[in-house]
Amino acid sequence: MSCERIQVELVGYHFGVIDDGLRLQIEEHLAGCPGCLRSFFDLKRDVETAESAPRPSPAVLDRLRASAARELGVGEPERWSWWERPLAFGFGGLMVLVAMIAVTVVAPGTPPRGLVGPPITSSPGAR
C-alpha cells in the first residue's frame, strides 16, 4: 500500500470506521513506515487535543477505557471503595507513629550515627 493511500485513510483508521482488511493493511504499513506513523501520531494528537472541540464526558471516557481494556485483554483497574483509601492512609500513619516510638525506645537520647564522630581536639599551636 502506498504512502499516499495511507494518508487518505488515516482519519478513518483513527476513528475505526474502516473495514478489517484495510485496517490490517494500514497497520502493516505503519509498522514499517516511520513517515506515515509520524503522520498518524500528528493527526491523533490534533484530533485529541483540539481546543475548539467539545470534551468527552466522563461516561464516554469510561466506556472507551473499558473497551480498550477488553480489546487488549486487560482487566479493568480495581477501584477502591469509599472506606479503603482512608483506611490505607490511617494504617500508613499508624506505622510511621510506631516506627517513631520504636526508635525513641530503642535508642533514647542517642544522636543519629551521622552526627557522632571523633571528638574535636585542639592542637596547641592552633587558634
104 pLDDT band (50/70/90 cuts)?
Answer: confident
- Give me the chain's average pLDDT, please: 80
Domain assignment present for 59: yes
Confidence of residue 96 (pLDDT cuts 50, 70, 90): very high
Per the domain annotation, does 67 fall within a domain? Answer: yes
Does the residue 117 lie in any domain?
A: no
Q: What domain count does the chain have? A: 1
Query: Does the pLDDT of residue 77 top 90, yes or no?
Result: no
Task: State mean pLDDT over 70-87.
Answer: 71
3-state secondary structure labels for all residues of the chain: CCHHHHHHHHHHHHHCCCCHHHHHHHHHHHHHCHHHHHHHHHHHHHHHCCCCCCCCCHHHHHHHHHHHHHHHCCCCCCCCCCCHHHHHHHHHHHHHHHHHHHHHHHCCCCCCHHHCCCCCCCCCCCC
- Please give the share of the chain, as a percent, with pLDDT higher than 90: 9
**Domain housing 24:** 3-72
Within a domain: 107? no
Q: Could you tell me the sign of the dihedral formed by the alpha carbons of 60, 62, 65, 70, in that order?
A: negative
Question: What is the mean predicted confidence (pLDDT) over 97-110?
Answer: 82
Residue 113 included in any domain? no
CA distance 101 to 93: 12
Please write the tens of the pLDDT for every residue from 2-40. Answer: 888 888 888 888 888 888 899 899 989 989 988 988 999
Look up the CATH number of the domain holding residue 38.
1.10.10
